[in-house]
Amino acid sequence: MRRRLDPWRIGIYALLTLFALLFLVPVYVLLSSSLKTFVEVEDLSRLWSLPSGLHLESFRSAWFGIPSKGLRGLSQNLLNSVYLTVPATIISSVIGSLNGYVLAKWRFRGANVIFPVMLFGMFIPYQSILIPLTQTLATIGLGGTIWGLILVHVVYGIPITTLIFRNYYAEIPTDLIEAASIDGAGIMGTYLRVLFPLSLPGFVVVIIWQFTNIWNEFLFAVSILQKPALQPITVALRNLSGSQIQEWNMIMAGTLIAAIPTLLIYVLMGRYFIRGLLAGSVKG
Amino acid sequence: MSHVRRERWIAFFILLPSILLIALFVYGFIAWTGVVSLSQWDTVMPDYRWAGLENFRRLFEQAQGVAARRFAIDLWNTLFFTILFLLLCVGVGLLLAILLDQKVKGEGVFRTIYLFPMALSFVVTGVVWQWIFAPGTANYPRGVNALLHGLGLDALRWKWYTDTSGIGPFHKALIPVILAAAWQLIGYTMAMYLAGLRGIPEELREAARVDGASEVGIYRHIVMPILQPITLSALIILGHTSLKIFDLIYTMTGAGPAFATDVPGIFMFETTFQGNHYAQGAAISIIMLVLVALVIVPYLVSTFRREVQL
């Protein structure tokens, strides 16, 4: 078979490959540094070279910490992230589903005002509510607790989860709802019998979106949780990288540990991840 | 009460808790922050005595010394950060989307590579890029400087995000931070543009080809006008993100030497939660909110007005 050497096509592939390599530089840094020993990672003449072998001691340090240097391990923080992210994701997805159903199928007067007013909540800089938020959480006894942070993520997750579900349900034919209604099903009956069974793809998109966002979140977590033992992994990681002693192999291993859950979801369920991504740009 | 009317009430009651929560946690808290910004609250203990606009005035004071001018520096940094970050995201994102739209082999692999940073935390991005652009010292270069040293390109070494020099009010130290942010979010614009390109029916391009249009002409006169609303959405979404950016810069560089990489988000956080100057922090956050609202409110209004017409 004769291969056509079209310079235009070669250029396209060359550019795509060049950008791909540039995008992967941080991955190389992460992997190579985390597989080095401490002596090796501090050898400035070999900063960018491959590790001399598969040294996993950095992962051990990142997980258990280095008590002799006063460095905490991240295992507890990883668990905290799970305790935080899983309930917050589930609760906010269910709320979003109910809200989205009501807004898409039971349009009542004022809904066209209420919805955008609600959506504004997902764009605000959270700094502008942070002071009242920390005060309020302290007043209701949830200050400095993971439950407090769960509540925060549920509340501020309402706009985006409602938006995604509303757009998702808008695609489902209203005839189905009306048929159920004629059969005597009430609003909740229709939801449970008709909508909910059709909601799986919507839930996948929302769950992935919320899980990723809450897992990765930093500002709320660092403002609300002061106790190192309660902080999620993003906060613990930033404390580690911002500390005086910079054990770069340990930091990079910790970074990988923090990144792996959301990366795995992205690699396995990228299609749904992208749908959530594009839904966030409010195509009303 | 009719069946339908009763159902509508139930529908309203399903929505009610969310409406109340948003009313309190978004609008109530914003109003509360507004009150704090006008108060004298300057320690850990709340103090709601009236201060008028003093906290805002202090932010714009033309005083001597970098610390006094911190907010002005922050606004300049935000301006330059936003412009360059948006240019990179839109420019490179569009380029990658068009390249991927040329029926390339391995499109899925390329797409996955360009988009994976979106799945990461800004903290993760900040840590890795902190390492990459760490300048080290003259004799012990780190990061990119070590690479340049190894290649014999010492002339190109500079202090990256620790550099305090600039061109007018533009701090060169922002460049590494902008690159890190663009690395994370270029995939977003690429995905938006790619979705837009895939929505253009092939017949439309085919018809133009039949009419004798060149490939470049097709892009200029058919594809680009169709993609224009996507560019607007991308500019608004990413623009408002950059106005409130915090995690990435806080992790990667912090405020930086002489506030070279400082932004209002960091200023607010440090002032409030490390300095306990609550009223001052509230004032900063109110200004951030106004800036974001100027971008977002028209966007939401136009989006929903269009929808009502449909």
- Cβ neighbours of B232 (radius 10 Å): 12
Rounded to 10°, the helix B224-243/B70-100 angle is 150
Q: For residue A44, which residues of chain B lie inside 8 Å, CB to CB?
A: 136, 140-142, 146
Q: Which pLDDT value is given to residue A206?
A: 96
- Cβ neighbours of B203 (radius 10 Å): 8
Place of tokens 């002799």: A68
What is the C-alpha to C-alpha distance for residues B278 and B284, in angstroms, rounded to an integer? 10
Q: Which pLDDT value is given to residue B56?
A: 97
Shortest CA gap A94–chain B (Å): 12
Q: Which residue of A has its CA nearest to B16?
A: A99
CB contact under 8 A, B304 and A266: no
Q: For residue B14, which residues of chain A lie inside 8 Å, CB to CB?
A: 98-99, 101-102, 187
Amino acid at residue number A234: T
CB contact under 8 A, A106 and B143: no
Which ranges in chain B belong to alpha helices (H)? 3-22, 29-37, 54-59, 70-100, 107-115, 122-132, 143-150, 174-198, 202-210, 215-218, 224-243, 247-252, 264-269, 278-309
Shortest CA gap B189–chain A (Å): 10
Q: What is the pLDDT of residues A47-90, one digit of tens each?
A: 999 999 999 999 999 999 999 988 999 999 999 999 999 999 99
Q: What is the pLDDT of residues A110-137, one digit of tens each?
A: 888 899 999 999 999 999 999 999 999 9
Q: What is the pLDDT of residues B84-111, one digit of tens each?
A: 999 999 999 999 999 999 999 999 999 9
Residue A186 has pLDDT above 90, yes or no: no
Q: For residue A115, which residues of chain B lie inside 8 Å, CB to CB?
A: 304
Q: For strand A71-72 and strand A65-66, is the pairing parallel, antiparallel, or unpaired?
A: antiparallel
Shortest CA gap A56–chain B (Å): 19
Q: For residue B301, which residues of chain A lie inside 8 Å, CB to CB?
A: 116
Residue A174 has pLDDT above 80, yes or no: yes
Residue B309 has pLDDT above 90, yes or no: no
Q: Which residue of B has its CA nearest to A48?
A: B147
Shortest CA gap B63–chain A (Å): 26
CB A162 within 8 A of CB A279: no
CB contact under 8 A, B28 and A132: yes
What is the C-alpha to C-alpha distance for residues B110 and B105, in angstroms, rounded to an integer? 9
Q: Residue A110: which region, alpha, beta or left (left: phi > 0; alpha: psi -120 to 50)?
A: left
Nearest neighbour of B142 by CB, restricted to A47, A106, A274: A47
What is the C-alpha to C-alpha distance for residues B16 and B22, in angstroms, rounded to an integer? 10
- Average pLDDT over every residue of A207-236: 97
CB contact under 8 A, A132 and B29: yes
CB A111 within 8 A of CB B11: no
Please, which residues have CB within 8 angstroms of residue A148's CB and are 6 or more apart in sequence?
A137, A142, A224
- Average pLDDT over every residue of B67-95: 96
What is the C-alpha to C-alpha distance for residues A22 and B308, in angstroms, rounded to an integer? 44
CB contact under 8 A, A259 and B284: no
Tell me how far CA of residue B7 lies from CA of A100, A106, A181, B3, B37, in angstroms: 16, 9, 10, 6, 44
CB contact under 8 A, A118 and B18: yes
Q: Which pLDDT value is given to residue A111?
A: 82
Q: Which pLDDT value is given to residue A261?
A: 97
Shortest CA gap A75–chain B (Å): 17
Nearest neighbour of A99 by CB, restricted to B15, B132, B265: B15
Q: Which pLDDT value is given to residue B296?
A: 96
What is the C-alpha to C-alpha distance for residues A206 and A90, in angstroms, rounded to an integer? 9
Q: Which residue of B has its CA nearest to A13?
A: B104
CB B33 within 8 A of CB A135: no
CB contact under 8 A, B301 and A262: no
Q: Which pLDDT value is given to residue A178?
A: 81
Domains in chain A with CATH codes: 21-71 (no CATH), 75-279 (1.10.3720.10)
Name the pLDDT band for A1 (thresholds 50, 70, 90).
Answer: very low
Amino acid at residue number A244: Q
Q: Which residue of A has its CA nearest to B240?
A: A123
- Average pLDDT over every residue of B4-26: 91
What is the C-alpha to C-alpha distance for residues A200 and A214, in angstroms, rounded to an integer? 21
Q: For strand A65-66 and strand B170-171, is the pairing parallel, antiparallel, or unpaired?
A: unpaired
Q: Which pLDDT value is given to residue B53?
A: 97
CB contact under 8 A, B15 and A13: no
**Average confidence score pLDDT of chain B:** 94
Amino acid at residue number B35: V
**Residues pairing with B136 in the sheet:** B141
Tell me how far CA of residue B140 lies from CA of A35, A77, B137, B145, B164, in angstroms: 22, 34, 5, 9, 20
Domains in chain B with CATH codes: 69-276 (1.10.3720.10)
Q: Which residue of A has its CA nearest to B243?
A: A125
CB contact under 8 A, B128 and A187: no
Q: For residue A13, which residues of chain B lie inside 8 Å, CB to CB?
A: 104
Eight-class DSSP state of B65: S
Nearest neighbour of B146 by CB, restricted to A44, A99, A115: A44
CB B94 within 8 A of CB B228: no
Name the pLDDT band for B310 (thresholds 50, 70, 90).
Answer: very low
Q: Which residue of A has its CA nearest to B288?
A: A125
Place of tokens 């992967």: A24
Shortest CA gap A203–chain B (Å): 18
Measuring CA to CA, which residue among A11, A33, A6, A4 is closest to residue A252? A33
Residue B126 has pLDDT above 80, yes or no: yes
CB A115 within 8 A of CB B304: yes
Q: Which pLDDT value is given to residue A8?
A: 87
Q: Which pLDDT value is given to residue A44?
A: 86
Q: Which pLDDT value is given to residue A4?
A: 64
- Average pLDDT over every residue of B42-71: 92
**DSSP states of A111-148 as a string?**
HHHHHHHHHGGGTS-THHHHHHHHHHHHHTT-TTSHHH
% residues pLDDT > 90 (chain A): 75
- Report how many Cβ contacts below 8 Å link chain A to chain B: 263
Q: Which residue of A has its CA nearest to B268?
A: A127
Q: What is the pLDDT of residues B161-200, one digit of tens each?
A: 999 999 999 999 999 999 999 999 999 999 999 999 999 9
ipTM at complex level: 0.94
CB B201 within 8 A of CB B218: no
Q: For residue B176, which residues of chain A lie inside 8 Å, CB to CB?
A: none
Greater confidence (A173 vs A262) lies with A262
